[in-house]
Structure formats: structure tokens, C-alpha cells
Structure 1
Amino acid sequence: MKPLSLMFLAVLLALLGNGFPVGAESAASKKSAYVDVAVATLWIKPDIVRPVDAPSLTHPVDMWKWTRSMTLEEKLGLVPKLETQALYGNKVTILERKGKWVKVAVHGQPTPRNAQGYPGWMLATQLTYNERFAAKDGQPFVLITSPTAKLYNSATLKHEEMEISYNTRLPYEHETKDAYQVLKPDGKHAWVKKQDAKVYASMKAIPKPTGEQLVKTGKKFLGLPYLWAGMSGFGFDCSGFTFTVYQSHGITIPRDSSVQAKYGTPVAKEKLKPGDLLFFAYNQGKGKVHHVAMYAGDGMMIHSPNSARTVEIIPVDTPEYAKEFAGARRYLK
């Protein structure tokens, strides 16, 4: 085993030896809390992180440093370790505690594994609880619509605080000609450029999309490297990509491809429309579903394929996928 780097040791000491940051201690004592970093990564169990994962464990996180520092082998090493990710401001239910780690269920990520949301382990240091933020649940929110966006500490938009992901939702507070003021999970204010976001009164107020609009959204991420368990504009896995595209348009589907394949309306291959989901399974398409893509029209599909590639558009009849085709589902009414 490689020796731990000095940087990683420093990170572990900060995370495990110095207690909770402001807000995290109260969060850890409650049954629910809110993600207080741009992207929180959930693990299958505590204490299985590697030195290369240090940027994903800090507060704040550095997602680009993490994803861009990994070799292909290190990316593949995440496959047996990660569950999912949660975005800044996502609500979680705390299920279990083990030292500085908490097992949580991420609200809004449906799975048969837990009725409250997708489960996994994360550091309590990346959670917070603020009564004012909690009271904003169900109120108008700002939805990030750029692949990633910067939060600023004032309406002048001169001083950046952090970079957050597409599909992040933060309570709407105020606006100027060029920016929206939002409430952060810690109860403080920040600003985001209007060009990077939209305001909605509620989840139901998001206009129902056409299939073409879903495909257009997916194209925003062309060239983005794959990340196992990824759920953000910093990296997606296959079902994280389709889930996020749909949820950003007001439609929540199951988190995992194998479950996405069981819902919606079955669609014959010759009747595919843009936005339909295509599924691929082991054993020549007869086994367990392991991949999902979105039909892009004209015989093409858009997907986040694997750790060696990026979000791309390819023909549906590409041989490596055609031989594993296991059916299609339509989630649009």
C-alpha cells in the first residue's frame, strides 16, 4: 500500500481531529440536515477513501482538482466504493452515525433501497442545519441551469465564493438587473448571475419539457468526463446523467439505470422519440441492466458511457451497445 501523502494526512487531521465546522455539529445531532458543499460524495462505508480523494472530502470541496487528478485506474477504483452524490442544499435524512461519518438518505433520489432517498456514507463536516434555510422548503427557488456556476458574496459579482453544479436549487431571496440573491444552507446570502439560473415558484412550476428540450439540455455536457456515481456538472455516471437532465426539467425518475428500466412506458425501438431512455444489459441484453442512454433522434443517442470516455452522441446501432440493447422507456406524457 502506498504511504499517505502529507496533504492527505493534513486533510484527515482537519476532518477527523478538529471537530465539526460551524453548523455541522448541530446537523449531526438532528435527523435531517442539508449538504453544505458544492457536491457531497457518498461512499458504501466509512473510512475507505484514498489519498487522491482528499479534494472531495474537504469543506469546501474542490471537485475539478479531484476529478482531474485521477488516473483512469484511480477512476475505475471508485466503482466498488461510491453510491451517489448530493448537491449543495440537498436535504438528507441521517440514518446512522459512526465517528465523524454519517449514513444519510438523499431526498429526491428515488430508490427501492430506502424510501427516504438514496443511501450512503459521507462526512458530517459537509452537512449543516439552519432553521431559516429549512423553513424555505417548498418556497420559490433559484435553479442553476449552466453546467456549473459561481456564487458571489455581493450583487457586484466581483468576489467569487464557490462553484456549484447544474440542477442545484437554492431559496430565492431578491434580485437585481444581473443577479439573483439566494439563501445558502448555512443561512447566509450569496449571489448568482441571472445568465446561469432561473427562478421557479415550485417544482411543479417548472414547465414540462419536450423530448427535444431534454436532448438540448444533455448536449450542454458534451465532452464532460464520466465519473462513477456522478450527479453533477463536474462529472456524471450514466444514470446520474439521465436522472439530472430529467429532474432539472421538473421530472423525477429513479436514480439507477436498473430501476429506471422498470418504470415509464415501454417503447418499441422503431417508435423511439427524442428523450426516451434506452437500456443495455449483460448477457446480450437479457441479463441485468447496467447502462442507460437517451435517444437523441435520427438514430443517435446521448450518454455518459464509462470512466475512459466523456458525454457523447453516438449511433444507437453502435455494435458494442446494439448487442446489449434491452429495451426503451418513455417518461414524458
Structure 2
Amino acid sequence: MKKIIFLFACLLAFMATGLEAQEIQPISADSAYGVVHISVCNLREEGKFTSGMSTQALLGMPVKVRQYTGWYEIQTPDDYTGWVHRMVITPMSREKYDRWNRAEKVVVTSHYGFAYEKPNEHSQVVSDVVAGNRLKWEGNKGHFYKVSYPDGRQAYLSKSISKRESEWRASLKQDVESIIQTAYSMIGIPYLWAGTSSKGVDCSGLVRTVLFMHDIIIPRDASQQAYVGERIEIDPDFTNVQRGDLVFFGRKAMVDCKEDISHVGIYLGNRKFIHALGDVHINSFNPKDSDYDEFNTGRLLFAVRFLPYINKEKGMNTTDHNPYYN
């Protein structure tokens, strides 16, 4: 029996290796682009499940396909690259990709929800959905939108958790207070390395997810976010930092090495900031506060003011100005 179990384990290992070590195949014109068709898609550093996760992409997100080995190497609208399993995106020609981008969408506005086979929440679930997911609008049915996925599936999405993209964009607020309110709505969501969705976020993923819910795309990593917009050297009394500024943490520059950015949060005013570490929560730079964060206060570097530079600086734009969506 032990021998049989050993041989079976070896067979499984061989099959897994064979699936993950395929040669690069040519990308045809019919598969040079693609759209994510699951709620949250994990991008990995290599084309295998055992590889570390580098970021995530969301349902309805247009991507470019760079290579295919049984896995796709894709590039996302923030110009991040990674490998995804072939079952999570729908490859497309440029023509189909453009048609998808031009079609009216329904945007998921709640952190979590489900799409159903019928316009009835007691019917069969087609998939889960998370904030920022985009599906093609096919019509209305009572309190539901009829929608279709990039891979052709159809479903019904409650109007209570979503909005037609044209209406959503018309009512969208991109001011500091609205963005901070969205950040508050994510309190308690668990930390997930490389996470950029309501299911879990890392520190820069929190910033990216909050802003994406306001139709804003910024660079993915804290080390990239730190060098956009306007850098602000923080005064000891924090009077020159505004609500909504990003605050960065890490190691200060030294004679023989550059500064190293390792963490980011959103400044809330009154020396408070919200960030993802363990989970999404609020801490203070003030030693007198009960939520004082001595560790992060000790490695605070500077702040960045970014909102005035959206659609004015490379790497920061709204989807209607992003080349992947247009």
C-alpha cells in the first residue's frame, strides 16, 4: 500500500510539473488582449500555482497578453505584469477587446455580492462579485440588471449593489472626504500580501482599491506610489499634511543607500492614518492617543499629495483616460 501511495504521489508531482513547465507559445492576433472573467484574479510571479502572488485584477478588467505557456503573462491597466491561469481570463482579438471596452457596463459598488441565474436572489448563483467589478449591461429586469461576462455567461445583478457605469460616473465623487469615507468602509478587511480587492489588501493595495472604487488608477506598489504627485516633508506638528494625503514609511536615505519605501497609509488628519497591517485599521502618530503606533511613527518618511495630479501626471488617471479602457 505504501508503495502504491508513493507511486501515486510521484505521478501527481510529474503531472503538476508538466502542466507548469510548458514552452512559450506564439500569441495570435485573436488572443493578444483579454478581459478578466472571475471576481478576483491572482497574478503570480511565475506561471505556476506555487509561485508567489504579485497583485490582483478584477472582473471586467481589460489586460494585454504578453506570453502564453499554458499560463498567460498579462499586463494590467496600471502597467503591472504577472502570470495568470488560462481559466481566469477571456483572450480576445483587438476588435472584440474594443467592443468590450465600448459597451455600457454595470459597476459593482458594494464590497461583496452575488450574480444570479434569474432576477431572483433565491435562484442559482452564477458567481460572486466584489467592489470595482464591471460587467456588460444587457438590460433591466425589475430590481436587477441583466449582465454578461467577458466569456459569454449571463446573469442578473441586484441594483442595490451595483450601478450602470454611465450613471455611476455621473454621480461619482473624487474629493478627499468621499475617498476617506470609502477607506473607512474597508476597516476590518484582512491583510493579504498582493491583495487589491475587498477580499483582502496589502498596504498599497488598500490605497489602490479605495481609489479604484472612485474610478482612479494609480501605481500599484508603495515604492511607486511614493514618487508621484507632490512630495511633502512632514513638519513635526503635522500642520502641512492634509486629509487624504498618502503617508509613507520605511528606511531613511543614508550616505551609501537610497531611502527604502516599505509601507503606505492614508492620512486622516489630527495625526491619524488608516492603513493595512494585519487588517485595515486606524492608528495615530500621537503618543498620547490610545491607538498610538510607535513602530510606524518611528519609520515615517514623508507624505504625498496626489489628487490634484490625477489625469495630469503619468501613472495616475481615471479609467476614461486610461489607454487599456479606451
Q: TM-score range by the shorter chain?
A: 0.7 to 0.9
Equivalence for 2:207 = 242
Cα distance in 1 between the residues matched to 2:180 and 2:100: 31
TM-score, scaled relative to structure 1: 0.74
1:188–1:132 distance in 2 versus 1, CA, 3 Å: farther
Map 1:172-187 onto structure 2 (within 5 A): 172-187=137-152
1:192–1:327 distance in 2 versus 1, CA, 3 Å: same
Equivalence for 2:68 = 97
1:181–1:134 distance in 2 versus 1, CA, 3 Å: farther
1:193–1:203 distance in 2 versus 1, CA, 3 Å: closer
Gaps of 5+ in 2: 1-5, 21-26, 287-292, 309-326
Q: Give the deviation of 1:295 after TM superposition.
A: 1.2
Cα distance in 1 between the residues matched to 2:87 and 2:306: 37
- Pairing 1:320–2:282 present: no
Map 1:135-150 onto structure 2 (within 5 A): 135-150=99-114
Equivalence for 1:214 = 179
SS in 1 for 2:35: strand
Q: Give the deviation of 1:35 after TM superposition.
A: 1.4
Equivalence for 1:59 = none
- Pairing 1:289–2:264 present: no
Contact 1:33 1:93 survives alignment (8 Å): yes
- The equivalent position to 2:118 in structure 1, one of 131, 154, 157, is 154
Equivalence for 1:195 = 160
Cα distance in 1 between the residues matched to 2:97 and 2:168: 17
SS in 2 for 1:92: strand
Post-superposition CA distance 1:285-307 (Å, at most 9, x none): 972111110112332111112xx
Cα distance in 1 between the residues matched to 2:66 and 2:170: 31
- Pairing 1:118–2:80 present: yes
Task: Compute the RMSD of aligned alpha carbons.
Answer: 3.0
Q: Which moved more, 1:30-39 or 1:133-142?
A: 133-142
Contact 2:34 2:97 survives alignment (8 Å): no
Cα distance in 2 between the residues matched to 1:324 and 1:170: 42
Q: Give the deviation of 1:283 after TM superposition.
A: 4.2
Aligned AA for 2:152?
A: G
SS in 2 for 1:304: strand
Cα distance in 2 between the residues matched to 1:105 and 1:228: 19
Q: Which moved more, 1:207-216 or 1:288-297?
A: 207-216
Aligned AA for 2:300?
A: F
1:310–1:198 distance in 2 versus 1, CA, 3 Å: same
Contact 1:225 1:236 survives alignment (8 Å): yes
Post-superposition CA distance 1:115-138 (Å, at most 9, x none): xx2101111122214676751313
Equivalence for 1:88 = 59
1:218–1:83 distance in 2 versus 1, CA, 3 Å: same
Post-superposition CA distance 1:235-276 (Å, at most 9, x none): 111111101111221222111111111112234442323221
Cα distance in 2 between the residues matched to 1:82 and 1:89: 20
Contact 2:107 2:168 survives alignment (8 Å): no
Gaps of 5+ in 1: 18-25, 51-80, 110-116
Aligned AA for 1:101?
A: W
